[in-house]
A and B are shown apart, each in its own frame.
Chain A
Amino acid sequence: MPYVDRIAEPWGTRTPYGPGEPWPVRVDSFLESGLRAQDVERWVQSATILHSNGDGLDIAVKDGRVVGVRGRAQDRVNHGRLGPKDLYGWQAANAPDRLVRPLVRENGRLVETDWDTAMERVAGRARRLLDEQGPSAIGFYTTGQLFLEEYYTLALIAHGGVGTNHLDGNTRLCTATAAAALKESFGCDGQPGSYTDVDHADVIALYGHNVAETQTVLWSRILDRLAGPNPPALVCVDPRETPVSRAAAVHLANRPGTNVALMNGLLHEILANGWIDERYVRDHVVGFEELEKRVRDFPVEKAARICDVPVDALREAARLIGTARRLLSTVLQGFYQAHQATAAAVQVNNVHLVRGMLGRPGCGVLQMNGQPTAQNTRECGADGDLPGFRNWSNDAHVRDLARVWNVDPMDIPHYAPPTHAMQMLRYAEEGSIRFLYVTGTNPAVSLPELVRIRSILGQERLFLVVQDIFLTETAQLADVVLPAATWAEKTGTFTNADRTVHLSEKAVEPPGEARPDLDIFLDFARRLDLRDKDGAPLVKWGDAEGAFEAWKECSRGRPCDYSGLSYARLRGSGGVQWPCDDEHPDGTERLYADGRFWSDPGHCEDYGRDLVTGAPLSDIEYKALNPDGKAIIKAAEYVPPHEEPDGDFPFWLTTGRTIYHFHTRTKTARAPQLQRAAPEPWVEMSPADAARLGFTEGDLLEVATARGAVRARLRVTSMRDGVIFLPFHYGYWDRPDGAGPGESPGRAANELTITQWDPASKQPVFKTAAARVSLVTASSGAPSQAPTTAASRPVSADVPATAGGADAQAEEVMR
Chain B
Amino acid sequence: MKLDLVIRELHRSEGELAHLLLRMSERHKGDHETYHVARDLAGWCHDHVRELAEAGKEHGLDLDPSHDVSVAERLREKAAERLGRRSEPGLLLLADLRQLYLAASEVSLDWEMLAQAAQAAKQRDLLALTQRCHPQTLRQLRWANARLKESAPQALLS
B is a partner of A: yes
* Contact surface of A with B, Cβ cutoff 8 Å: 133-134, 136-137, 165, 415-417, 419, 422-423, 426-427, 429-430, 432, 610, 612-616, 639, 642, 755-757, 759
Write the nearest CB–CB distance from B141 to chain A, whole angstroms: 9
Does B112 sit at the interface, judged by CB under 8 A?
A: no
Q: How many residues of B contact A (CB 8 A)?
A: 27
- With known contacts A615-B139, A615-B142, A756-B32, A415–B37 Cβ distance under 8 A: no
Chain A positions within 8 Å of B147 at CB level: 615
Does B65 sit at the interface, judged by CB under 8 A?
A: no
The residue that A610 contacts in the complex, of B89, B142, B152, with Cβ under 8 A, is B142
Q: Are A612 and B40 in contact (CB under 8 A)?
A: yes
Q: Report the Cα distance A247→B149, complex, angstroms.
A: 49
Chain B positions within 8 Å of A430 at CB level: 88-90
Write the nearest CB–CB distance from A426 to chain B, whole angstroms: 6
Chain B positions within 8 Å of A757 at CB level: 32-33
- With known contacts A165-B153, A416-B153, A432-B90, A614–B33 Cβ distance under 8 A: yes
Does B41 sit at the interface, judged by CB under 8 A?
A: yes
**Chain B residue with minimal CB distance to A429?**
B30
Please give 11 more A-B residue pairs, beta carbons under 8 A apart, in addition to A136-B153, A757-B33.
A136-B158, A427-B158, A432-B90, A432-B155, A610-B143, A613-B40, A613-B41, A613-B146, A614-B37, A615-B142, A615-B147
Chain A positions within 8 Å of B149 at CB level: 415-416
Chain A positions within 8 Å of B152 at CB level: 416
Q: Are B142 and A642 in contact (CB under 8 A)?
A: no
Does B145 sit at the interface, judged by CB under 8 A?
A: yes
**Chain B residue with minimal CB distance to A765?**
B36
Write the nearest CB–CB distance from A534 to chain B, whole angstroms: 27
Q: Report the Cα distance A151→B94, complex, angstroms.
A: 33
Chain B positions within 8 Å of A426 at CB level: 30-32
Q: Report the Cα distance A755→B31, complex, angstroms.
A: 10
Q: Are A133 and B158 in contact (CB under 8 A)?
A: yes
Q: Are A415 and B153 in contact (CB under 8 A)?
A: yes
Does B150 sit at the interface, judged by CB under 8 A?
A: yes
Write the nearest CB–CB distance from B36 to chain A, whole angstroms: 5
Q: Are A432 and B154 in contact (CB under 8 A)?
A: yes
Q: Are A134 and B157 in contact (CB under 8 A)?
A: yes
Q: Report the Cα distance A406→B20, complex, angstroms.
A: 46
Does B27 sit at the interface, judged by CB under 8 A?
A: no
Main secondary structure on B side of the interface with A = helix
The residue that A614 contacts in the complex, of B30, B32, B143, B154, with Cβ under 8 A, is B143
**Chain A residue with minimal CB distance to B156?**
A136
Write the nearest CB–CB distance from B135 to chain A, whole angstroms: 11
The residue that B146 contacts in the complex, of A133, A419, A615, with Cβ under 8 A, is A615
**Chain A residue with minimal CB distance to B31?**
A426
Q: Report the Cα distance A430→B37, complex, angstroms.
A: 20
Q: Are B32 and A422 in contact (CB under 8 A)?
A: yes
Chain A positions within 8 Å of B41 at CB level: 613
Does B50 sit at the interface, judged by CB under 8 A?
A: no
* Contact surface of B with A, Cβ cutoff 8 Å: 30-33, 36-37, 39-41, 88-90, 139-140, 142-143, 145-147, 149-150, 152-155, 157-158
Q: Report the Cα distance A137→B152, complex, angstroms.
A: 14
**Chain A residue with minimal CB distance to B38?**
A613
**Chain B residue with minimal CB distance to A137?**
B158
Q: Are A417 and B150 in contact (CB under 8 A)?
A: yes
The residue that B150 contacts in the complex, of A416, A610, A613, A639, with Cβ under 8 A, is A416
Q: Are B158 and A432 in contact (CB under 8 A)?
A: yes
**Chain B residue with minimal CB distance to A613?**
B143
Q: Which 9 residue pairs across A and B have the least CB separation, nearest first?
A: A432-B158, A615-B146, A613-B143, A615-B142, A615-B143, A416-B150, A136-B157, A136-B158, A755-B32
Chain A positions within 8 Å of B155 at CB level: 432
Chain A positions within 8 Å of B89 at CB level: 430
User: What are some 28 contacts across the A-B interface (CB < 8 A)?
Assistant: A134-B157, A134-B158, A136-B153, A165-B153, A416-B150, A416-B153, A417-B150, A419-B154, A426-B32, A430-B90, A610-B142, A610-B143, A612-B37, A612-B40, A612-B139, A613-B41, A613-B139, A613-B140, A613-B142, A614-B33, A615-B142, A615-B143, A615-B146, A639-B40, A642-B36, A642-B39, A759-B36, A759-B37
Write the nearest CB–CB distance from A583 to chain B, whole angstroms: 38
Write the nearest CB–CB distance from A499 to chain B, whole angstroms: 31
- With known contacts A430-B90, A755-B32, A616–B158 Cβ distance under 8 A: no
Write the nearest CB–CB distance from B87 to chain A, whole angstroms: 12
Q: Report the Cα distance A614→B41, complex, angstroms.
A: 12
The residue that A615 contacts in the complex, of B31, B32, B145, with Cβ under 8 A, is B145
The residue that B33 contacts in the complex, of A165, A417, A432, A759, with Cβ under 8 A, is A759
Chain B positions within 8 Å of A616 at CB level: 146
Write the nearest CB–CB distance from B98 to chain A, whole angstroms: 16
Q: Are A427 and B154 in contact (CB under 8 A)?
A: yes
**Chain B residue with minimal CB distance to A617?**
B142
Q: Report the Cα distance A419→B90, complex, angstroms.
A: 15
**Chain B residue with minimal CB distance to A621?**
B142
Write the nearest CB–CB distance from B136 to chain A, whole angstroms: 9
Q: Report the Cα distance A209→B154, complex, angstroms.
A: 37
Q: Report the Cα distance A111→B45, complex, angstroms.
A: 57
Q: Are A756 and B150 in contact (CB under 8 A)?
A: no
Q: Report the Cα distance A543→B115, complex, angstroms.
A: 64
Write the nearest CB–CB distance from A140 to chain B, whole angstroms: 15
Chain A positions within 8 Å of B36 at CB level: 642, 756, 759
Q: Report the Cα distance A349→B142, complex, angstroms.
A: 25
Write the nearest CB–CB distance from A614 to chain B, whole angstroms: 7
Chain A positions within 8 Å of B150 at CB level: 416-417
Write the nearest CB–CB distance from A13 to chain B, whole angstroms: 48
Q: Report the Cα distance A111→B146, complex, angstroms.
A: 45
Chain A positions within 8 Å of B139 at CB level: 610, 612-613, 615
**Chain B residue with minimal CB distance to A452?**
B30
Chain B positions within 8 Å of A615 at CB level: 139, 142-143, 145-147
Q: Report the Cα distance A616→B142, complex, angstroms.
A: 8
Write the nearest CB–CB distance from A25 to chain B, whole angstroms: 49
Write the nearest CB–CB distance from A768 to chain B, whole angstroms: 12
Question: Residue among A136, A165, A614, A615 with the most chain B CB within 10 A?
Answer: A615
